[in-house]
């Protein structure tokens, strides 16, 4: 009798465990390792490269048909070779760090995924000012506004 109860308890345990596991999506499915890459503060002309890891969490091959940056300063590169179920690929992104100021751009990934055929990931951060740029008000910098009129005595 103890063996029957023990066997029944094990069978119920396996049944609950199998239900708790993540179920695979039927067809190709896209998953990314992160939604946002934060560069933090980057030096002017510094390294603007980052990567997003794309995994096929589905049951059929995933094909990335196109990767596009939101502007010309954000250039993604993706491999169009099909990604087998459970396999991964890297999307390399290069941001032009010769543009000082805040970074807030997106990369759109088009694929045959049944869960998200259009997936958008973002990059953010800040590029420091060009250390070689002339300061405003100096020769070669921004013009200085002249104050006109007679002096106050």
Classify residue 61 by burial, with Cβ atoms within 10 Å: 0-12, 13-18, 19+: middle
Determine the length of the chain: 153
pLDDT, tens digit, for every residue of 101-127? 999 999 999 999 999 999 999 999 999
3-state secondary structure of 145: coil
Domain ranges of the chain: 22-127
Beta-sheet pairing, 101-111 with 64-69: antiparallel
Angstrom distance (rounded) from CA 62 to CA 21: 22
- The model's pLDDT over 12-30, given as tens digits with 9 standing for 90+, comes to 444 444 443 455 679 999 9
- CATH number for the domain running over 22-127: 2.60.40.10
| pTM beyond 0.85 | no
Contact 42, 97 (CB under 8 A): yes
SS3 128: coil
Distance CA 107, CA 127 (A): 18
Among 102, 92, 105, which Cα is nearest to 42's? Answer: 102
């Amino acid at each position: 009798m103890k063996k029957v109860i023990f066997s029944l308890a094990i069978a119920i345990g396996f049944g609950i465990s199998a239900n708790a596991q993540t179920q695979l999506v039927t067809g190709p499915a896209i998953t990314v390792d992160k939604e946002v890459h934060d560069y933090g503060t980057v030096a002017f002309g510094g390294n603007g490269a980052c990567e997003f890891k794309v995994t096929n969490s589905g049951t059929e091959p995933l094909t990335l048909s196109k990767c596009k940056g939101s502007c010309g300063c954000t250039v993604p590169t993706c491999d169009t070779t099909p990604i087998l179920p459970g396999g991964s690929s890297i999307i390399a992104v290069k941001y032009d760090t010769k543009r000082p100021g805040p970074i807030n751009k997106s990369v759109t990934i088009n694929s045959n995924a049944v869960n998200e055929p259009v997936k958008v990931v973002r990059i953010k951060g800040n590029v420091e000012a060009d250390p070689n740029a002339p300061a405003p008000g100096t020769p070669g910098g921004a013009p200085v506004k002249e104050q006109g009129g007679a002096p106050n005595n």
